[in-house]
Amino acid sequence: MQNIDITTNKLLSAFDNRETGFWVWVVSFLPLVLISGILMVVVGVGYFLSNPDVLKNPALLKTPELLMKIEDFDRDATIRRTLTYFLSVAVVFPGIFVALKMFRMKVSNLIAPGDVVQWKSIWGLAVTCLVLVSISAFIFGWLDGSTFSFEPHVGWGWGAVLVMIPIVAVQAMAEELFFRGYLLQLVGRFTRRWWLILLIVAGLFFAMHLTNPPVEVFGWYAYLSYGLASLLFTFLALKTGRLEYSIALHIGWNWSILIFDTRLSSDMYMGIGSIMMDFEPGILTAVQNIFLAALLYYLGMTFYRKNISSGFSGSIEAVPSSGE
């Protein structure tokens, strides 16, 4: 297994032979912000038009807990809210695609520098991750005394959930390409110290998620979950020198939202999953998150080692450091 300094330089090699001056990066941000911003506005307008209650009282958006209570009486509204969130992030993908074109790069160059993207590994690892997250939820939920119930969707709800499967995959990939790809490469222009890159990129990813409703509802438990995910995805990218494994785990982790829902009380739930789970965050749920993060890291590295043993190019090439 390679030293993390070598794999970090391997990951950063995507931009090593390209013009990466400060102003090139600044200009590349323009299409990223412009295209993503326009598409986000379109998604936001669609959400407001499909939610008359929120359109009449936009202040509800400042209080996610109240919004969820109101939407509990209209599950279709909850589906629209969840779909809007995933779409608003997924639309960043076209912006990243255009920004990379300014460096004469493809998305595949960012995912697997100097190599071919292992798509089979991404989907295989994502599905395996989903299975492990589901099993973990049932086991630790049972140990913690949580109750489960099955509340299936009706009407168009099932179709919306099926549509969200690829949308969630694109959303997770877009976040990975931006944070562990585009942003990490930018940070790598200033330092090659893997631990500093880890802290900066994971910190920014964590900060972005602090506006999500679970933070207000779950408090410390949400901080722990987002913190572990931030460190897991970023460290795995640095350790493997590729983005397939962080992308796959991110997709699998987010897919679980389409299956499980966290019911906080009889009249309020968080999302759109049909398997309802009633629980109060505590020590055991914290242990579950830590255990699951460690298990998923081991799983990602297992897939990585398997690919190395199969001899795919680029994973065992040592890339010299270009210094600080």
Enter the pTM of the model.
0.88
The per-residue pLDDT for 250 is 97
Q: For 81, what's the count of Cα atoms within 13 Å in the CB-facing half-sphere? A: 25
Give a three-class secondary structure readout of the chain.
Answer: CCCHHHHHHHHHHHHCCCCCCHHHHHHHHHHHHHHHHHHHHHHHHHHHHHCHHHHHCHHHHHCHHHHHHHHCCCHHHHHHHHHHHHHHHHCHHHHHHHHHHCCCCCHHHHHCCCCCCCHHHHHHHHHHHHHHHHHHHHHHHHHCCCEEEECCCCCCHHHHHHHHHHHHHHHHHHHHHHHHHHHHHHHCCCCCCHHHHHHHHHHHHHHHHHHCHHHHHHCHHHHHHHHHHHHHHHHHHHHHCCCHHHHHHHHHHHHHHHCEEEEEECCEECCCCCEEEECCCCHHHHHHHHHHHHHHHHHHHHHHHHHHHHCCCCCCCCCCCCCC
Q: Are 238 and 8 in contact (CB under 8 A)?
A: yes
Q: What would the mean pLDDT of 32-54 be, rounded to a whole number?
A: 83
The per-residue pLDDT for 48 is 76
pLDDT tens, position by position, 174-183: 999 999 998 9
Rounded Cα gap, residues 207 and 223, in angstroms: 10
Q: Are 274 and 151 in contact (CB under 8 A)?
A: yes
Q: Are 127 and 258 in contact (CB under 8 A)?
A: no
Rounded Cα gap, residues 247 and 170, in angstroms: 10
pLDDT tens, position by position, 81-93: 788 889 999 999 9
Sign of CA dihedral 216, 278, 206, 35: negative
Task: Return the higher-pLDDT residue of 132 and 265.
Answer: 132
Q: Are 320 and 9 in contact (CB under 8 A)?
A: yes
Rounded Cα gap, residues 152 and 171, in angstroms: 24
Per-residue pLDDT band for 74 (boundaries 50, 70, 90) equals low
Domain-wise residue ranges, the chain: 4-108+117-310
pLDDT tens, position by position, 207-241: 998 887 777 777 888 899 999 999 999 999 999 99
CA 34 distance to own-chain centroid: 22
The per-residue pLDDT for 57 is 66
Asked whether the predicted pLDDT for residue 265 surpasses 60, the reply is: no
Most confident of the following: 50-54, 166-170, 305-309: 166-170
Q: Are 234 and 201 in contact (CB under 8 A)?
A: yes
pLDDT tens, position by position, 62-72: 555 444 454 44
Asked whether the predicted pLDDT for residue 324 surpasses 50, the reply is: no
Residue 102, token pair as written in the block: 């300014």
Rounded Cα gap, residues 321 and 324, in angstroms: 9
Rounded Cα gap, residues 88 and 232, in angstroms: 24
Task: Return the higher-pLDDT residue of 196 and 143.
Answer: 196
Q: In Å, what is the CA distance from 3 to each residue of 95, 181, 319, 320?
A: 33, 20, 11, 12
| Weakest mean pLDDT among 11-20, 172-181, 275-284 | 11-20
Rounded Cα gap, residues 79 and 153, in angstroms: 10
Q: What would the mean pLDDT of 302-323 be, rounded to a whole number?
A: 62
Q: Which amino acid is at 162?
A: L
Most confident of the following: 96-110, 143-157, 228-242: 228-242
